[in-house]
Amino acid sequence: MLEIEEVSIRFGHNPEVVSDATFTVNDGDRLAVIGETGSGKSVLLLAALGLLPASARITGSIRLNGRELLGCRERELSQIRGKEIAYIPQGSGNGLNPLYTVGRQLCETIRKHRPCTRKEALLQAAALLESFGLEHGEDLCRSYPFQLSGGMRQRVLIAMGIAAGAELVLADEPTKGLDRRRITLVEDAFHRLGERTLLCVTHDLRFAKAISSRVIVMYASQQIESGDSRSFFEEPLHPYSRAMLEALPEHGLHANMGFAPPRQDQDARSDCHFYDRCPWRSERCRNAPPMLAVGERKVRCWKYAD
């Protein structure tokens, strides 16, 4: 169980990139955090891993199975990373070191947390790759990252993330830069994660729909909506969520609200973060709305206050 409570993050004296994020990922949950680039979702993931640069200032609390991670010593964190929390990077980047074979990088992860011989680790690695639908695991172990396709690399990275047996998987835009067919393969790999708890940050709505059981939407550093995946995709509550789902290509090629203008002097403003773009805005939106409960779901919009 990962509990994130009132977490705010800023770099130096810049405006907050994440403000007051509060949510819990229960064991077995598959939570997708949706938001556009720059909405602060990736930063939140790195904060949970303790991998933000020194210039980041974090307040609040991030607890893994009741244990506080913020302010934890580097040594303790490195015991948790890989072993209890798996990290899966973006699909487009080079998450695999170009100079080492796939097998070597997988073994490195396995042997870091469970001492065993290289041979044993290699067998495990091959089996693990095969369990993710990658054929010829042993051959794959001998190849270098540049010899694999983008979709294969990403599936290798997913396997590598959980190689040391982590039960909580943090994925950072795992489909970024992949085409539709490759994304389907990655979706398949995520389904093979089984009972593991998943926290996946993405701006790919279809991917989020395919893999998640719960959804959180972030906009301009804030959480603006959360709820179970099915009802969210059937009927989004927040005007931003609605606009986002309407903009999917299957609803025709139009962005009915235009593109996001940069939000200026955020710290000085007290209105709703979505005020400038909202089609439903009214006088009371000049005051920032709190998270309001709508049944089992939550949304940050005054429209649901009554």
Tell me which residue has tokens 């973060």: 273
Residues in contact with another protein, shown as a per-residue x/- string from 182 to 201 under the rule CB under 8 A: --------------------
Least distance from another protein to the Cβ atom of residue 95, Å? 4
Identify which of 264, 270, 222, 276 has the alpha carbon closest to the alpha carbon of residue 14.
264
- Reported in sequence order, the residue ranges of 109-257 that DSSP labels E, i.e. its strands, are 168-172, 197-202, 214-219, 222-228
Answer yes or no whether residue 51 interacts with another protein by CB under 8 A: yes
Is residue 182 within 8 Å of residue 150, measured between CB atoms?
yes
| Closer residue to another protein in complex, CB, 46/123 | 46
Answer yes or no whether residue 275 interacts with another protein by CB under 8 A: no
Least distance from another protein to the Cβ atom of residue 174, Å? 12
Least distance from another protein to the Cβ atom of residue 164, Å? 7
Identify which of 216, 224, 218 has the alpha carbon closest to the alpha carbon of residue 272.
224
- The single residue among 13, 74, 115, 268 that binds another protein, judged by CB under 8 A, is 74
Least distance from another protein to the Cβ atom of residue 263, Å? 26
Q: CA separation (Å) from 78 to 72, 82, 159, 162? A: 10, 8, 19, 15
Q: Which residues within the stretch 89-108 sit at the binding site for another protein (CB under 8 A)?
A: 89-90, 93-99, 108
**How many secondary structure helices (H) and strands (E) does the chain include?**
10, 12
Is residue 58 within 8 Å of residue 47, measured between CB atoms?
yes
- The single residue among 7, 31, 80, 278 that binds another protein, judged by CB under 8 A, is 80
Give the Cα separation of 192 and 105 in Å (integer): 21
Helix H or strand E segment including 60: strand 56-64
Is residue 142 within 8 Å of residue 125, measured between CB atoms?
no
- The single residue among 57, 83, 114, 242 that binds another protein, judged by CB under 8 A, is 83
Least distance from another protein to the Cβ atom of residue 13, Å? 15
| Closer residue to another protein in complex, CB, 109/226 | 109
Give the Cα separation of 302 and 227 in Å (integer): 17
Q: Which residues within the stretch 138-177 sit at the binding site for another protein (CB under 8 A)?
A: 144, 146-147, 157, 160-161, 164
Answer yes or no whether residue 82 interacts with another protein by CB under 8 A: yes
Token pair for 67: 């244990």
| Closer residue to another protein in complex, CB, 87/274 | 87
Contact residues for another protein, defined by CB under 8 A: 46, 49, 51, 54-55, 74-75, 78-83, 85-87, 89-90, 93-99, 108-109, 112-113, 144, 146-147, 157, 160-161, 164
